[in-house]
Structure 1
């Protein structure tokens, strides 16, 4: 149950976006621009980052939805659990490990970021644009985690499964249909 009495018992992100439709439209556009424009960092990779960051923040809703989205993109569910348990021992492709370490540090101790953190990603073969996209994804999900937690939105397994499937198949743009038209 949300902290906001006007939101339904089964509230999700789309409901909080509708509380301020103008901001909601901008946020959906940002999701589309960040998460569905592949460079070397694919939508699959970005959804893995989204689920990981949300798990680090213990955001039940975002972790649940983006875990399911990442799984729909082919990420093994066991990998997601292993990453949260022990990043160093998780069976992740070596090239992704420095991005995940970057995500962990930026999420948990952002003031301790250093040039060496970026250099580790560059040394693994990621470009500046790729790392920038990773930073955008990490920042977006730290924001979304706080928005969902601040509104008291938790979700359910059924909601995670349906939203995860929809995001994998259709992306984020369909969320715009949930927003009321701009007032004149």
Structure 2
């Protein structure tokens, strides 16, 4: 049995996401819809999220290309750091599903639990290392008050060891989740996955 975090309504346990609107049935999908699902994500064909968005295949194709480039591109910010930022943004935006998924990915990539409990408790005060704190605080600041981000915020990232490309990747990660969380929150809800 696995011990999961459950803090202030957020968890790292596996969740499913259920759409509130009808999803595309695979046996009724067009060849274009199937092709877009197959290129979007390995689990897209069984995901309500992707099967809802594929009603508009061109939009899903563009969304998936942007998401995959931001989250999985080689070089720049480490994947675990992108996942930490995504978890912070999702926690602040109240997206339980995304917070769960990206907390799990952070833990898998970094091979550590910390700082996820702190992200769930208070994302603006999360992080055990200067780098984690800088990433969490910048992600929180950009999510809560983007108009207040300035040179001092970037300087703190430089001081924590991030370079220009890493900072650009961090900004992109925060931005894609500002958008992704809102889609999830307005189109469906999380539910506990059967293990």
Output the TM-score relative to the length of structure 1: 0.74
What 5-or-longer segments of structure 1 have no aligned partner? 162-184
State the shift of 1:77 in Å: 3.6
Matches of 1:23 and 1:88 in 2, distance apart? 33
State the shift of 1:40 in Å: 4.6
What is the aligned counterpart of 2:168 among 109, 132, 140? Answer: 132
The answer to whether 1:39 aligns with 2:55 is: no
Q: Deviations over 1:159-180 (max 9, x none)?
A: 8x8xxxxxxxxxxxxxxxxxxx
The two structures, once aligned, show a CA RMSD in angstroms of 2.4
Change (3 A) 1:60 1:7: farther
State the shift of 1:22 in Å: 0.7
Matches of 1:99 and 1:89 in 2, distance apart? 11
The answer to whether 1:107 aligns with 2:124 is: no
Is the CA contact 1:79–1:91 (under 8 Å) kept in the aligned structure 2? Answer: yes
Q: Deviations over 1:88-139 (max 9, x none)?
A: 7545221221121110011111121121111111122211111010000000
Between structures 1 and 2, the one with greater strand share: 2
State the secondary structure of the residue aligned to 1:155: strand
State the secondary structure of the residue aligned to 1:52: helix
Is the CA contact 2:124–2:140 (under 8 Å) kept in the aligned structure 1? Answer: no
Is the CA contact 2:125–2:137 (under 8 Å) kept in the aligned structure 1? Answer: no
The answer to whether 1:141 aligns with 2:158 is: no
Matches of 2:59 and 2:125 in 1, distance apart? 40
Is the CA contact 1:18–1:24 (under 8 Å) kept in the aligned structure 2? Answer: yes
Partner of 1:3: 20
Is the CA contact 1:64–1:157 (under 8 Å) kept in the aligned structure 2? Answer: no
Q: Which structure has the bigger radius of gyration? A: 2
State the secondary structure of the residue aligned to 1:154: strand
Number of equivalent positions: 157
Is the CA contact 2:126–2:137 (under 8 Å) kept in the aligned structure 1? Answer: no
Output the TM-score relative to the length of structure 2: 0.71
What 5-or-longer segments of structure 2 have no aligned partner? 1-17, 25-45
Is the CA contact 1:2–1:11 (under 8 Å) kept in the aligned structure 2? Answer: no
State the shift of 1:48 in Å: 1.6
Q: Higher mean Cα deviation, 52-61 or 86-95?
A: 86-95
